[in-house]
Amino acid sequence: MTGGTMVQTITPELRRWIVEQTAAGFSPESVLDAMVKVGWRQELAAAALEDSLREHRRQRGDGRGAGVAPAVPARSQAAAAPLPEISLSPSLPCLDAGDRQVRVLATLSLPRVVVLGGLLSDEECEALIDLARPRLARSLTVQTQTGGEELNPDRTSNGMFFTRGESELVRRIEARIARLVNWPVENGEGMQVLNYPVGAEYKPHYDYFDPAEPGTPTILQRGGQRLATLVMYLNEPAEGGGTIFPDVGLEVAPQRGNAVFFSYDKPSPTTRTLHGGAPVAQGEKWVATKWLREREFI
């Protein structure tokens, strides 16, 4: 691989080079960094890395490939830090959420996405909407320049936050989420409820906090980096309003009681967790969002 102008095509030679580097003991993260340094776009380099190692494992037929490290690097190669994660079994169509059985509707490995069916009951959805409606205000986003909040033209919804554990309903849902994703209740931010009228949307963005922004150290003092997101659909708009993942061409339709979970092992576009809320074409959309942090959120 050489510097200069590069036609960014994933060739058999590139795939072979990737496999050889990981087989020689270089971590996937270091291989990715090497590709970016010589001019590869980060998103394309990550896709080439993942696809090449997945194909190598498939050809070997042993599920991993001897000497080849996992395709998706953890936040620390020396000691992989845990992440919120839904434990899946191909033999079980439902997950035990303690007080409720939740269906697994779809999964994706990169980005790590799990679509859940029936996480909330119809009654819980209606109760959250009724409690949130009188407390709605124009949605704000985190201001990464300062660590505060700001109005963002990319986010045209109205919203509010429930304080963690503020009611029996909120506590019940938070306990269910914690059991499903194997993550402590106290590591979750307060649940945010959002309302999107016709035309409202949230343009594609990342949920983690950009380490390069000056306000990020202040934000991280409250509980560390965000590691995962759970979006719960409280109603079904007549048209539009899906959750989109542009990097992988995925759209999750908003269906009452269902949810989409996705995690990100580092604050980087290589996680391919770019996502957004598509514009509502008819009706309105209600969602509840739960963000999960590295440690207790205060």
Q: Where are the domains of the chain?
A: 1-73, 94-293
Tens of pLDDT, residue by residue over 154-177, are: 566 789 999 999 999 999 999 999
Tens of pLDDT, residue by residue over 227-241, are: 999 999 999 999 999
DSSP code, position 209: P
Residues 6+ apart with CB under 8 A from 183: 84, 228, 292
- Token pair 């509502």 is found at 280
Q: β-strands 101-108, 250-252: how paired? A: unpaired
Tens of pLDDT, residue by residue over 13-47, are: 888 888 888 777 676 767 777 887 777 877 777 77
pLDDT over 60 (residue 71): no
The 10 Å Cβ neighbour count of residue 202 is 22
- For 159-227, give the DSSP string: EEEEPTT-SHHHHHHHHHHHHHHT--GGGBPPEEEEEE-TT--EEEE-SSPPTTSTTHHHHHTTTS-EE
The verdict on domain 94-293 having CATH code 3.65.10.10 is no
- Token pair 């050809």 is found at 59
Measured distance CA(192)–CA(174) in Å, rounded: 12
Give mean pLDDT, residues 118-146: 84
Least confident of 10-19, 49-58, 97-106: 49-58
